[in-house]
Amino acid sequence: MATEFSADTQPFATAVSLHERGEWEAAAQAYHHALAVDPSNIEVLHGAGILALQVGDFSTSAELLRRAVVNGSHEPDTYMLLGRALKSGGDLDAALENFFHAISRAPDWADAYVQIGIVFRMQNRMAEAEVAYRQALALNANSVEAHINLGNVLHLRGDLEAAVRHYEIALELSPQSETAATNRDITLNAQAYARGVNPVPA
């Protein structure tokens, strides 16, 4: 669901080229120049917001993406990116609101449900997180992230067998996933302790 950039100003074209080549510092300067030329340009705000998110400047990313929304960008990916910036910056309620905006515009977007589940888990709303992850899997049964996160919630809830099952599905889909392998082994150890037997090697 990537947004297609359509701005044709030279500073913006330069910024996009630098961004795509991974020259992030120069790209940030070019985006800044482009915004000085046209402060309300949605494509420039969107691109600059993505870059700020990539480099971990979450407050700047959220500010830029909010400006994109104010200026008329109501694409689901804009709300998704804004939600991610807000989540990473700790504003969980605002993040959740934007993820739901994304869902309202793209109801079949499994990744948005995964993000909703992550926020619910961060808020200790485990039952709602589980529902969100299951909805993500209903839309995309091959979502490795959804299987891992659902496994995490099931582990915390005490359903260790089901948690292992989802970690193993994640590993079938992505055999190199260290997170799925580590979480599976931790859960298998927890099962072993619960049964009073020696844990499996990590």
Same fold, 10-91 and 108-202: yes
CATH number of 10-91: 1.25.40.10
Protein fold of 108-202: 1.25.40
Per-residue pLDDT of the chain (202 residues; tens, 9 = 90+): 433 334 445 888 999 999 999 999 999 999 999 999 999 999 999 999 999 999 999 999 999 999 999 999 999 999 999 999 999 999 999 999 999 999 999 999 999 999 999 999 999 999 999 999 999 999 999 999 999 999 999 999 999 999 999 999 999 999 999 999 999 999 999 988 877 765 555 5
- Give the whole-angstrom CA distance, residue 148 versus residue 103: 21
Q: What is the pLDDT of residue 199?
A: 55
- Domain boundaries defined on the chain: 10-91, 108-202
What does the block give as tokens for 40? 């309300």
Q: What is the pLDDT of residue 5?
A: 39
Q: What is the pLDDT of residue 72?
A: 92
DSSP output for 14-55: HHHHHHHTT-HHHHHHHHHHHHHH-TT-HHHHHHHHHHHHHT
Q: What is the pLDDT of residue 6?
A: 42
Taking each helix axis from N to C end, the angle separating 24-37 and 42-54, rounded to the nearest 10 degrees, works out to: 150
Q: What is the pLDDT of residue 96?
A: 98
